A and B are shown apart, each in its own frame.
Chain A
Amino acid sequence: MGGKELEFEKYILAIITTKPEKVSGGGAPVFISKTDEEQDRIATTLARVMGGVVHDLENGVYFLVRH
């Protein structure tokens, strides 16, 4: 018991987007890209380095989650 339950099991490590107006605030860094290809590339690199999985909100916003 104790503090353990307050720890987050999953958290957003980064947000990668082509539409910066859809994202605001929060604790994760936001990477803005011009094209879809750039977005894909940045997301892949970040995922490999951070060991997370990239998910798609299907509105031009990707987010990287550590599971």
Chain B
Amino acid sequence: MTTGIIIGSLIRYDMLKRDYRLYPSYPHGVVIHLALGFIAAVIGAVAIPALLEKEFTAVTFLALAATQFREVRGMERDMLEGLDRTNLVPRGPDYIEGIARVFEARNYLVMLAALLISGATFIGNIYYGLLMGVATFIISKTLMKGKNIGDIALVRAGRVHFEGAKLFVDNIQFMNLALQQSRETYLKRGLGIIVEPLNDNGRATLANNGQRKAIAHDAAALLGVYKDVDSAEFTPLVRRSLDTGRVGLVIVPMEKDISVLIEAVKRVPVLESALSTPLKTTLGKKAAD
């Protein structure tokens, strides 16, 4: 049982570390999630021993915990939405929903891991428990991995240029900018990226507006953004070429480093809500050829 609790909490801690980029973690946020992860681990760990002792009230506790963790999702969503309003480059509701869902799901994973570990220890001995611990650790890693933009599309640099007042990256049009000064800033400091979907699934995913907001947000979060609250024209934009389904990003970063930007865009997670797989249906396949 103790093994279950300890390893369960450790797994939660490990998953939390990988949240930092998604969610510039606040020390108190870490404490909250560690505490909840611990509770999840305890509940999971007691379940099997309790059931074997024919204490069926333990099941009610599992259900109760599920309700609690659903609230975690609500809490994260509310907080991130609140913060998003003052963000220079907002994450967008899709990204926030994705993050919130991940927080909820991770607690269930911890609970499940603790349940399996303590079960193994209870039935066999502590070594079975440790073995199960390693197994669940690996499983949780692969389960929570998810896809990145780099998996569904090719990311390459594009040329930022103007045609009259219209801002382009390669052949994707972004917006009309009147001010000479803004145009010069874009030409001097701006970076352009083209994201080419590898197939129709990727094309549909990249068309999602929430996914595009996530790309803009992550790029800005990693490279910094040359923008203040009163200069709306330097908001990073992600626009789509209707002919090819390619997506372009234009950003005026603090650090002008194209290779870092390409890497950053590649690592943007594919949002669950944006992930679209028309190629898995027969009709989608027909439409593709």
Contact = CB atoms under 8 A, between A and B. Distances in A.
A44 B184 CA distance: 14
Contact of A67 (B164, B231, B232): B232
Nearest to A66: B232
Q: State the main secondary structure of chain A at its contact with B.
A: mixed
Interface in B139-185: 164-165, 175-182
A52 B177 CA distance: 11
A49 interface: yes
B31 to A, nearest CB: 37
Given A44-B179, A62-B178, A56 B229 contact: no
B165 A53 contact: no
13 contacts: A40-B179, A44-B179, A44-B181, A47-B179, A47-B232, A48-B231, A51-B232, A53-B177, A54-B178, A55-B177, A56-B178, A58-B164, A67-B232
Contact of A51 (B164, B175, B177, B230): B230
A14 to B, nearest CB: 12
A53 B164 contact: no
A40 B233 contact: no
Interface of A: 40, 43-44, 47-49, 51-56, 58, 62, 67
B232 A52 contact: yes
Interface of B: 164-165, 175-182, 229-233
Contacts of A67: 232
B233 A53 contact: yes
The 4 nearest A-B residue pairs measured at CB:
A56-B178, A56-B165, A54-B178, A55-B176
A67 B235 CA distance: 11
A52 B235 CA distance: 11
A56 B232 CA distance: 15
Nearest to A44: B179
Contact of B230 (A43, A48, A56): A48
Contacts of A52: 232
Nearest to B229: A51
Contacts of B164: 56, 58
